[in-house]
Structure 1
Amino acid sequence: MSGMSRQRQLAELWLTRARELARSVDVEAVRQRLEQTLDERHRETLADLGRKGDATVRRLASQADAFAKKLQSGQSAAADETPGKEAGSSLPLGGASSVGEVAKVLGDRLNGTLTRWADKANDVAAIVQGPAAHGGDISDPLVDGVRKAGTSVAQQWQTLAPKYLPFADAASDDLPLNRLLRLSLFQISVGMAMVLLTGTLNRVMVVEMGMPTWLVAAMVSLPVLFAPFRVLIGFKSDTYRSFLGWRRVPFIWMGSLAQFGGFALMPFALFLMSGDGRVVGSEFAGYLGAALAFLLVGIGLHTTQTAGLALATDLAPESSRPRVVALLYVMLLVGMIGSSLLFGVLLDDFTQIKLIQVVQGAALATMFLNVIALWKQEVRDTARTDPRVAQPTFRETWDAFYEKGQPLRLLIAVGLGTMAFSMQDVLLEPYGGQILHLSVSSTTVLTALLALGTLAGFGLASKVLDQGLEACRLSTVGVVVGVAAFVLVLFASPLSSPWVFRVGTVLIGLGGGLFAVGMLTAAMALADDGDAGLALGAWGAVQATAVGVGTLLGGGIRDLVSALAGIGTLGPNPGASYAGYGVVYVLEVLLLLATLAVLFPLARDGLGGRKRSRDRFGLTGFPG
């Protein structure tokens, strides 16, 4: 009896496992998975696998049936002494009362289960063979339903994306969103370099390494010296002859190498400058090495950015070019914010070893990001290497560009407005701490408020440009907002109101964002296929130079006026600290008014009578 009970338990265990295994085959999921993920090339291969699987399952079923018959014939013919009624009530095997009957029932059920598996395998094989058998038309209702559902989801996603996803409408069939975002990685590297030069290293050199402020300012200003050459870089990338058929990629690659070399050299040169060298004359070598390192980084970031923006313009359709370039500049802002936070965390506990690791890590990140950004972006065109094709000179190209509208007036407006908005860059946080007596944490928030205002400016620009507002008119709105912002900052001290100062800070970012978007869009409206590099190079040269000059003038004028007020040159006890800041902010207001005067004819008449662009500006994902 005990042996018979063990046989029954074993039979029940076999049956339970067979049922669980049969239920684990989800044909519906297999069908959906195959239909969604496989293409035509692999379906024939899977059809062969399905046929082989069908044959294997049927062979297993035949073997199981033979095993059941053998088991039944080899068992003892002695009947089970337990009454059949009781056995039938205690066994879940159709009332089998002997080992032979148990084996037969078990074999039949296992055979049936394996047969069902074979049928399911046939169904899967029919699915994967369907396209080859019916010319790609699968008439299976389940497959048709899955296909319709997938099409519906795709259509709804295409409708949803331009409305809710940032920059989705900047993409096109020629430049999909994933490829566009990958291309924008070079702006992340440029933003990282700008933060490292003007923020992290600026503070480290003055505070931790004890270098003179004037020397640090001179080193940080070296990259600006190369900014005027951006127009020449853009022109050369337009007319470059490459045996590989590329125009933009060689310039981006050489710019990346220069930026990498500058970062690799920089930390060691800084240590020599600080007097940590063990060799006589090492401090002078440190000066030369640091100057070379900062200059290399400046050459690299200006070259990479100019050629990269021109490449994006080449790849994007004409209707979406301003939106694409604007997306890349927003990615620059994202790179600056993200890298500043990362550098702050990594250098929280400053050591020389950590500085070496961070700066050289930035060098590696530059190459990594830019290689990914460039991979399979520019199409090779060997026709450009034909020596029989005459290339225009810089003068000829500039004259043709100048005749398209009023680029000189536009570039003057870019220079004046950018200088006005950038003079406060080094004064915002000191003004809050020294004049309004804000804490360190409170002044740190000002940078976030400025960035928030800039992003809000992009969002507002997307709406008004989508509604047809002309780009130069948008820039005039930004200038007016900037004037109001600087007036609020000026009155924050007499009112002793930090909140007025914070509102003014947000408005500075808002006005600067509107102005920058409008000027960039207007510059791109003047560019054609053959001179996109020249147009962006001219815009970038003026913009970058104005930022450097404005920052230098802002700090210099503030120090000069404060010193004169402190010794009584400006009158008895005028409030030396506030006088220095006040003069700079008043000068910024005057520069914005001059910008408004230059922009007014462009806003009234357009760019030389050219058709006003009503293209949507691909920033609909921003707030506002």
Structure 2
Amino acid sequence: MLHQGSQPPATVSTGLGWFSIIRIGLVQASIGALVMLATTVLNRLMVVEFTMAAAIPAGLVAWHYAVQLARPLFGHGSDQGRRRTPWILGGIILLAGSALLATRATLMMEVSPQGGFALAVIAYTFIGFGVGAAGTSALALLASGVAPQRRAAAAATTWIMMVAGIVVSAITVGELLKPYSPERLMIVASGLAAVTILITAISVIRLERSETANLFAETAKDAPVPNFREALREMWEERAARRFTIYIFVSMIAFSMQDLILEPFAGLVFGMDPGDSTQLGGQHQGGILIGMIIAGIGGSAFAGRLPSDLRVWVVTGCVGSAASLACLAMASIHGPGWPIAINVFVLGFSNGIFAVASIGAMMGLAGAGEKTREGVRMGVWGASQAIAFGLGGLIGAIGVDQARAALASDGSAFQLIFAIEAGLFVLAAILAVRATSASAQTNQNNGTSLKQTGKKEVFA
């Protein structure tokens, strides 16, 4: 209910409607589909078909995450201009073009490893910039254009759509790549790039022109936007924001360690071909999707607050992920005959549960600062997530390479890495309790402050 002086209820707006939220979700789906190509299909080709060390594609993926340290700058830029859609569309175009360049570079590596790798570094650099510009601006648009009581639901919805985009693209690309050939890969990658650009262009048309979309953005304009350095300083001084940033960092390392080794694991231990291993990755993403839906419907993340129920969902997801990874460790020794598809699906399901609860917390905290804007805050958390993803993937891949050399056994090497990842998820569960406890205390203090100062706020 909106308390706004003597203004009649009929004038109350709820910000972006569900149709607009779904349009932003289509942008997220496009981002997920393009990133899937670069981080799974190309990764698989380098390791299995071209017999390169897993550290090579892992390093490229880690680099594309590293350049996303620029996310806070993208968010601050859209804060200052209060125009998110140019950043979104421009980011998608850059991402799509860079994904095509990365595909060409990967194919070059078979005949010219050094030239192909140099081109790949350039391609993955711009992939990172594209993801950072489009992703940060899309989430900032949600945080600034959606009513506070609807932010968590909107974030979960768009994230679910992003995972759905990954699932659909992984399954579709996997089918279209049968039988595999370099020429077929370029055709499929070009089609994916064209479709995602078209979807994004249609989705963002007039998205920021409606009165409801700018309701909260106009309110935020009342106070001047602090400079970039000041905004970062103010945010880091908040205990809840600081603890949440650390939680995001550790949990995303745990989440991403298997990303770059799952398909090589399927190929080396279970003998799957590129199409089958890509579909296995799609089953993992499918599990994430269903886990998000169930957590969103059954949990409290949609309420836009941070009660104890949120911690239950986060911890449940982390513990479930740890258990699933422990099973994958056993599968590494068992080999063919293990129900690998079910195991990977359950892992994704558990990942989805903790992810949607984390998203609810993120959106609940996005507008909590007195001076820092949504773009900067989402940029900082996005940068933390990106660096963690890069480190996690790199640690997983290098760890597998080192373990394979030391243990002289593919199965034992993957078993060790999956076991370490399971332990990190247990640590993430502990940190989640601390982070959400601080967030709940922040919300309580903010509520008390509002009552004392007589400020008005939007409540569910």
TM-score by length of 1: 0.59
Would the alpha carbon gap of residues 427 and 311 (structure 1) be closer, same or farther in structure 2, given more than 3 Å must change? same
Task: Give the aligned CA root-mean-square deviation in angstroms.
Answer: 3.6
CA contact (8 A) 1:263 1:360 kept: no
> Higher RCO, 1 or 2 (CA under 8 Å, sep at least 6)?
2
Determine whether 1:178 maps to 2:26: no
Determine whether 1:584 maps to 2:417: yes
Specify which of 413, 416, 420 is matched with residue 247 of structure 2: 413
2:66 aligned partner: 225
> Displacement, 1:267?
5.2
2:359 aligned partner: 520
Determine whether 1:601 maps to 2:434: yes
Instruction: Give the 3-state SS of the residue equivalent to 2:16 in structure 1.
Output: coil
Would the alpha carbon gap of residues 273 and 554 (structure 1) be closer, same or farther in structure 2, given more than 3 Å must change? closer
2:121 aligned partner: 291
Determine whether 1:540 maps to 2:370: no
For residues 203 and 496 of structure 1, what CA distance do their matches in structure 2 show? 19
For residues 360 and 328 of structure 1, what CA distance do their matches in structure 2 show? 25
What aligned pairs does 1:84-99 form with structure 2 within 5 A after superposition? none
Would the alpha carbon gap of residues 589 and 275 (structure 1) be closer, same or farther in structure 2, given more than 3 Å must change? closer
Determine whether 1:464 maps to 2:299: yes
Specify which of 429, 454, 470 is matched with residue 288 of structure 2: 454
Would the alpha carbon gap of residues 500 and 561 (structure 1) be closer, same or farther in structure 2, given more than 3 Å must change? same
What aligned pairs does 1:332-343 form with structure 2 within 5 A after superposition? 332-343=162-173
Specify which of 241, 257, 261 is matched with residue 423 of structure 1: 257
Q: Which has the larger radius of gyration?
A: 1
Would the alpha carbon gap of residues 599 and 584 (structure 1) be closer, same or farther in structure 2, given more than 3 Å must change? same
> Displacement, 1:320?
0.7
Structure 1 unaligned blocks of 5 or more: 1-171, 241-245, 277-282, 567-575, 614-624
For residues 258 and 416 of structure 1, what CA distance do their matches in structure 2 show? 29
Specify which of 167, 179, 190 is matched with residue 360 of structure 1: 190
CA contact (8 A) 2:63 2:390 kept: no
For residues 370 and 409 of structure 1, what CA distance do their matches in structure 2 show? 34
Structure 2 unaligned blocks of 5 or more: 1-12, 447-460
> Displacement, 1:498?
4.9
Residues 161-206 of structure 1 deviation map (CA, whole Å, 9 limit, x = unaligned): xxxxxxxxxxx96433333222322112211211111123334456
TM-score by length of 2: 0.78
Would the alpha carbon gap of residues 294 and 601 (structure 1) be closer, same or farther in structure 2, given more than 3 Å must change? closer
CA contact (8 A) 1:404 1:608 kept: no
For residues 355 and 225 of structure 1, what CA distance do their matches in structure 2 show? 27
Give aligned pairs, total. 418
Instruction: Give the 3-state SS of the residue equivalent to 2:89 in structure 1.
Output: helix
2:208 aligned partner: 378
Determine whether 1:191 maps to 2:21: no
CA contact (8 A) 1:190 1:301 kept: yes
Instruction: Give the 3-state SS of the residue equivalent to 1:348 in structure 2.
Output: coil
> Displacement, 1:307?
0.5
Residues 65-114 of structure 1 deviation map (CA, whole Å, 9 limit, x = unaligned): xxxxxxxxxxxxxxxxxxxxxxxxxxxxxxxxxxxxxxxxxxxxxxxxxx
CA contact (8 A) 1:230 1:302 kept: yes
Would the alpha carbon gap of residues 230 and 471 (structure 1) be closer, same or farther in structure 2, given more than 3 Å must change? farther
Specify which of 87, 95, 103 is matched with residue 259 of structure 1: 95
Q: Quick check: 261-270 or 395-404, which moved more?
A: 261-270
CA contact (8 A) 2:240 2:442 kept: no
Would the alpha carbon gap of residues 479 and 274 (structure 1) be closer, same or farther in structure 2, given more than 3 Å must change? closer
The amino acid across from 1:258 in the alignment is L
For residues 118 and 276 of structure 2, what CA distance do their matches in structure 1 show? 38
> Displacement, 1:300?
0.9
Instruction: Give the 3-state SS of the residue equivalent to 1:526 in structure 2.
Output: helix
* Amino-acid identity (%): 27
